[in-house]
Amino acid sequence: MRKFFSILLVLLSIIVGAVFLYSAYTKVYSTQSLESFEYTMVEFVHLPWSLAAVASRFFIGLEAALGGLMVLHLFGRNNWVFKAALALTSIFSLYLIYLWITAGDKVNCGCFGDAIWMSPSTSLIKNVILIVCLFILTRFHHGWHIRFNNLAASLLLIATLVTPYIAFPIPSQQPAWLQKGRFHLDLSALYAPGKNDMPAMDLTKGKYIITFFSPTCPHCQMAAYKMHLMKEKDTSLHFFMILGGTHPLDEFWQKTKAQNIPYCRLDEKNFFRLAGFAWPVIDWVNNGWVEAQSTYVNLNQAAIESWLKK
C-alpha cells in the first residue's frame, strides 16, 4: 500500500508539472501568443507596455521552471519548488478573482494563451484543484534524495528564467525611420466623391498613425487590438485604420475591440495599390508624407506620443 501511494505521488507530481509546462508553452508557441499574453497584462493588470514585456517573460520562465522541476522530481530543500508553485498559483488565483469582478466571466483569462479559451471562473476551479494537489505533494512527496538536489533545482530555475529573454528578446521600441526614403501617401481614394465613410478629418494635414489592415489577417487583428489599448490609455492619439475589402467586420471588432479608433473601408484595388500585399502596414504620416513605419510588435505608445508632440 505504501509503495502504491508513492507511485501515485510520483504520477501526481508529473501531471501537475506537465500542466505548468503546458501553460508556459501555450504563451510562447508563436510570437503572436507571447504578444497576446503581454496585451492581457496591459489591458487587465494595467501594466506599462515595457513592464508587461519584462513581466510576461518572467512568468513564462517561472511556470516552465517549476513545471520542469516537478516532472524531474527536483524539489529543492524543504520542497521549495512546491511552495513556490503554490505561491504562484495563489497569485494567479487572486488575479482571476480581480478579473472576474472587473471584466466579467466572458473573457479569456489567458492562462493557456490562445490555445484553450478559459473563463476566470473555470480557471479558478482548475487552480483550486492544482492547489489541493500541491498541498498533498508538499506534505507527502520529497523527490529524489540526491546530494545536489537543491543546487540542481536552483541552477535549473535560474537557467529557465533567463531562457525566455534569450529566445524571445524584447524588441526595439522604435519604428523604422525612413529619413531620405520618405514618400508621399496618396490618400485621394479615401475622399472620392460619393464615398459613404469618408474620413471626418483631413489625413493629409498634421500627424497621424495610418494603418492598412485586412480584417481577416491575424497580425492586423493584433495590431488593431494593441492600438485599441493605447487609445484607451491616451485618447488624444491620432490613429486611423484603413480596412481593405468588403469582408464583414463582426469578427474583427470582436477580436480587436477597436471601435474606439476611426476607420474607413477601401476597395481591394486601391487598398493593394497603397498597402501592397503584406499586412499590416503601419505608416507614421506627417502632412501626407510617410516618415516612419512600424510593425505591430514595435508599435510603441511612448514613441508615438513623443513624435506627435514634436
In the chain the domains, ranked by start, together with CATH numbers, are 2-167 (no CATH), 177-309 (3.40.30.10)
- CA dihedral of 21, 26, 29, 35, whole degrees rounded to 10: -130
Provide the CA 246 distance to its chain's centre, in angstroms: 28
- Percent pLDDT > 90 in the chain is 80
Q: Do 261 and 253 touch, CB atoms closer than 8 A?
A: no
Cell numbers 479558478: residue: 124
Q: Which three cell numbers stand for residue 161?
A: 528564467
**Cα gap 181→207, rounded to integer Å:** 18
**Cα gap 42→44, rounded to integer Å:** 6
**Cα gap 154→150, rounded to integer Å:** 6
Predicted confidence at residue 196, as pLDDT, reads: 92
Given a cut of 80, whether residue 145 has pLDDT beyond it is: no
Tell me the average pLDDT of the chain: 93
The helix-helix angle for 80-103 and 49-72 (nearest 10°) equals 140
Q: What is the pLDDT of residues 46-88, one digit of tens each?
A: 899 999 999 999 999 999 999 999 999 999 999 999 999 999 9
Predicted confidence at residue 93, as pLDDT, reads: 96
Predicted confidence at residue 225, as pLDDT, reads: 96
Given a cut of 90, whether residue 30 has pLDDT beyond it is: no
**Cα gap 119→126, rounded to integer Å:** 11
Evaluate the omega torsion of the peptide bond into residue 280 and state whether it is cis, within 30 degrees of 0: yes
Distances (CA, A) of 78 to 49, 131, 142: 37, 17, 8
pLDDT average, residue stretch 256-266: 97
Predicted confidence at residue 2, as pLDDT, reads: 77
Given a cut of 90, whether residue 307 has pLDDT beyond it is: yes
**Cα gap 217→213, rounded to integer Å:** 7
DSSP letter string, 49-79: HHHHHHHHHHHHHHHHHHHHHHHHT---GGG
**Cα gap 72→75, rounded to integer Å:** 9
